[in-house]
A and B are shown apart, each in its own frame.
Chain A
């Protein structure tokens, strides 16, 4: 089957990509600005075609625990929500990290804290990258900046989740969820007929029981497990960093931004260059693992770094750690659901260049 070109909202692209990736199940609960994911899947009714289960749970907490159950059976399962709903899912997410279960969780971020607004924001960076739930764990965090990546990262997310037995979060925002762009959809993949060896699907004769749990009563054994997780996270750090550079070759001023902010900054780079300012952009695609090495390398040759986020400044902490003080790092952000414009970013960059 050929790839197919469509015009879709980011949310719709996630939903269609899940079907095509051969997902076994989606469990969700509606919340703006991501309700189209559930709506699209309900309408598509993939149970009649691929056999994928789509279920509206009674709450976010129920949905994530359905994901926990499905993943425990070795199935490709996912859920999605927006900021307040993702907060509700955190217990399930940390349990899955502790039980080393694969899944894809999509967060179409809106303004916060609390119920906040329904407009696009990037204020859940800390929650996604630094934990969210309790305990020493990491999610693999993918940050799409286009509708195409909303689709692509579902398949990639499942691949990474199963490769590392780890939950993957797609950290999007209301703008990418709601906007329409062209998207090339992958051909339909068949749902897997087999499950991984660790799945709890009944004990056949001749092997030990598979046990899936995040509970350990012996601290020494828990520490052994924690060390195993550390090894896994280091392996992810070594192998899975993804980022994209725009006009960085001769850049004197570097912007670092992901998702919608990265799109805004791409335009800001064009505008700045038209005014003779040699600006460049590094766009992290994975937020965990963070592209520290590429940023550190660019810090050798640029005069300053400006991080642009739709938050009070969260990713900037990882940028600061990456550059180890080699170069000044500044933050420009809008909050509450306000998206910065390219002009604002250029103005801010100019202010920083002259030392404002």
Chain B
């Protein structure tokens, strides 16, 4: 099994840390992992993205242009990466602030309104965990148990008290994600 994922959105949405938690979770699950961020001046206030690869085999290139799954959290990233998803692949996006929705018919498209849900839960910091929960529902490549272990490894110890809140958000994400049909 190899899962090649791009996560993209605004800096501050937790794009890189979501990728890091996925990578750590993969390590907990005894998988090979790579985490390749876009880095540079564009990260300050602009868009951020990270390529995460989870695999049971040795990972060849950590830098790729086509993905099994795109997790897309803003309009610019949707415009840029919708085309980068492999035919038959999965696109997960947050509808918040999206005016041009995805149009491809050869991929499966899901919407997880995580921004709205995070605000309802009064838990803006676990926004990315809602998104991750949605992903795990569609692509159960990581077990929830290993994701919690990954969180534990990824978060500094002083934030470990927040893990139950993160878990709640993960579960909420699993519930609210829904498939979108393109006509």
Contacts and interface: CB of A to CB of B under 8 A. Distances in A.
Interface of A: 5, 7, 32-33, 117-119, 174-175, 178-182, 260, 263-264, 266-268, 270, 339, 341-343
B22 to A, nearest CB: 11
B183 interface: no
A343 B65 CA distance: 9
A341 B61 CA distance: 8
Given A118-B39, A118-B40, A179 B34 contact: yes
Interface in B18-72: 20, 23-24, 27, 32-37, 39-41, 59-66
A181 B33 contact: yes
Given A7-B23, A341-B65, 11 more contacts: A32-B39, A175-B36, A175-B63, A179-B36, A179-B37, A180-B20, A181-B59, A263-B61, A266-B61, A267-B64, A341-B61
A178 B19 CA distance: 14
Contacts of A339: 63
Contacts of B27: 5, 7, 182
A270 B4 CA distance: 15
A5 B65 CA distance: 29
A174 B39 contact: yes
Q: From DSSP, what is the main secondary structure of chain B's interface residues? A: mixed
A201 to B, nearest CB: 42
A49 B177 CA distance: 49
A182 B32 CA distance: 7
B137 interface: no
Nearest to B37: A178
Contact of A263 (B32, B37, B60): B60
Nearest to B40: A118
Given A180-B20, A180-B23, A182-B27, A175 B32 contact: no
Contacts of B59: 181
B24 to A, nearest CB: 6
Contacts of B24: 7
Contact of B34 (A118, A180, A341, A342): A180
Given A7-B27, A179-B34, A179-B36, A264 B20 contact: no
- By Cβ-Cβ distance, the 10 closest A-B pairs, closest first, are A266-B60, A267-B61, A180-B35, A267-B60, A179-B36, A264-B61, A341-B65, A339-B63, A263-B61, A178-B39
Contact of B36 (A33, A178, A341, A342): A178
Interface string B91-110: 00000000000000000000
B4 to A, nearest CB: 10
A5 B20 CA distance: 15
10 contacts: A7-B27, A117-B40, A174-B39, A179-B36, A179-B62, A180-B35, A181-B62, A182-B32, A182-B33, A339-B63
Contacts of A268: 61
B153 interface: yes
A334 B65 CA distance: 15
Contacts of A341: 61, 63-65
A117 B34 CA distance: 23
Interface of B: 20, 23-24, 27, 32-37, 39-41, 59-66, 153
A135 B33 CA distance: 43
A267 B60 CA distance: 5
Contacts of B39: 32-33, 118-119, 174, 178
A327 B35 CA distance: 38
Contacts of B41: 118
A273 to B, nearest CB: 12
A342 B63 CA distance: 9
A255 B59 CA distance: 18
A160 B59 CA distance: 29
Contacts of B60: 263-264, 266-267, 270, 342
A270 B153 CA distance: 33
Contact of A7 (B33, B63, B65, B66): B33
Contacts of A118: 39-41
A342 B40 contact: no
Nearest to A110: B40
A122 to B, nearest CB: 13
A328 to B, nearest CB: 25
A82 B54 CA distance: 29
A211 to B, nearest CB: 45
A119 B63 CA distance: 13
B55 to A, nearest CB: 11
B21 to A, nearest CB: 10
Contacts of A32: 39-40
A182 B62 CA distance: 13
Contacts of B153: 7
A181 B65 contact: no
Contacts of B34: 179-181
A175 B34 CA distance: 11
Contacts of A182: 27, 32-33
Nearest to A8: B35
